[in-house]
Amino acid sequence: MKHILTVVKYAPIALQKPDDYEARANLMWAATWALNSFMTCGVHQATSVHAMEHELSGEYNITHGHGIAILMPRWMRYILNEETAPQIARLGYKVFDVPEETPVMQAADLTIKAMEDFAFVKLGLKSHLSELNIDESQFEKMAKNSCGEQGVIKGFVDLYPKDVEAIYRMCL
């Protein structure tokens, strides 16, 4: 979570002041930690978004981070249920200042909204694939590819091609 906190703190600064060495250095450090899996200390992280995004950026001219920003809140909404709500709420409690006393399902919803606000309002990223001239023509193929040979992306909630397609459509 520390690397996410760092991004939330320093990304807006870097956008406002592109020459701010501290902001850029902290973003690079956070990215390094996020990519090397050292932060997880051997704990398996079960987010399905990366597999879905790799197909998205492989098919279209979209950066990985932007693709993640578009997919993540829709994926969270898609998988949100009584079982997954505590994991989503934890992100809100730890990163987006959702008060700890907020009921879990409400906290999960506030977390998703905070994530959208951060990416699409604070950072000014385009919020929908259609804004990037991406339509649904490749979704079926991308969904199958993202699920791989086993036909499933294992995660908090296992996703099958029909699920991945539905999430892509939510992003239009």
Tell me the per-residue pLDDT of 100-122, one tens digit each, with 9 for 90 and over. Answer: 999 999 999 999 999 999 999 99
CATH value at residue 127: 1.20.1090.10
pLDDT at residue 104, rounded to an integer: 98
Alpha carbon separation from 147 to 63, 107, 153, 172 (Å, rounded): 20, 30, 5, 20
Do 106 and 64 lie in one domain? The reply is yes
Do 142 and 129 lie in one domain? The reply is yes
Do 166 and 123 lie in one domain? The reply is yes
Total structural domains within the chain: 2
Q: Is the pLDDT of residue 168 over 70?
A: yes
Report the interhelical angle of 49-59 vs 64-79 (nearest 10°). Answer: 140
35 — pLDDT class (breaks 50, 70, 90): low
Do 122 and 145 lie in one domain? The reply is yes
Do 13 and 88 lie in one domain? The reply is no
**pTM for this prediction:** 0.90
Do 57 and 13 lie in one domain? The reply is no
Do 32 and 52 lie in one domain? The reply is no
pLDDT at residue 156, rounded to an integer: 84
Q: What is the mean pLDDT of residues 32-55?
A: 71
Do 31 and 86 lie in one domain? The reply is no
Last residue of a domain, one of 10, 25, 43: 43
- Encode pLDDT of 14-26 as tens digits: 999 999 999 999 9
Domain, as residue range, for 58: 46-170
Do 50 and 33 lie in one domain? The reply is no
84 — pLDDT class (breaks 50, 70, 90): very high
Do 37 and 67 lie in one domain? The reply is no
Do 54 and 24 lie in one domain? The reply is no
Do 104 and 65 lie in one domain? The reply is yes
